[in-house]
Amino acid sequence: MTDMRTPLGRVRGLGSAREGTIHFWRQRLTAIANVPLVLFMVGLMVALVGAPYEEVRATLANPFVTLVVILFLVSVLYHMKLGMQIVIEDYVHREGAKVALIALNIFFPLVIGVASVFALLKIAFGG
């Protein structure tokens, strides 16, 4: 069969959506990153169950803990944004609702992420 793509299109290999497999690839990449990050976060939560205010803040203010929790947030929030996007595209077929939900799906992880990182930095910098 004749390949109807232009030579440049064939070399880029990004298909008609011009995105190639980037969505799939980032979903897997964040999935792999999530494994150690989530395990760390679960361990942190388990260690801090019922702990007093000062201890929780002291632990979160530890530079290593702050850093890993921020990485956790970035990886997890990006991963869930990608996942929810697929769910919306699969089940919501009315154009207006779909566009609105796709937009909300970008805002929600951003708000969660910015609020959480701000809270962490506030604790880390002793605010």
Partner 1 sequence: MSKTTATRARPLSPHLQIYKPIPTMMMSIIHRITGCALYFGTLLVAIWLMAASGTPETFARVQAIYGSWLGLVVLFGFTWVLVHHMLGGIRHLVMDTGSEAALGKDQSRRAAVAMPIISIVLTILVWIVAIMARGA
User: Contact with partner 1 (CB under 8 A): which of 8, 16, 18, 53?
Assistant: 53
Q: Is 123 in the site for partner 1 (CB under 8 A)?
A: yes
| 125's tokens | 């910098």
For residue 61, the minimal CB distance to partner 1 (Å) is 10
User: Contact with partner 1 (CB under 8 A): which of 14, 42, 100, 106?
Assistant: 42
Task: State the binding string over 54-93 for partner 1 (x if CB under 8 A, else -).
Answer: --xx--x--------x------xx--x--xx--x------
CB 105 within 8 A of CB 81: yes
Q: 71-76 long-range CB contacts below 8 Å, 24 or more apart?
A: 71/33, 71/37, 72/37, 72/38, 72/40, 72/41, 73/112, 73/113, 73/116, 73/117, 74/113, 75/30, 75/33, 75/34, 75/37, 76/30, 76/34, 76/37, 76/38
Contact set with partner 1 (CB under 8 A): 28, 31-32, 34-35, 38, 41-42, 45-47, 49-50, 53, 56-57, 60, 69, 76-77, 80, 83-84, 87, 108-109, 112, 115-116, 118-120, 122-123, 127
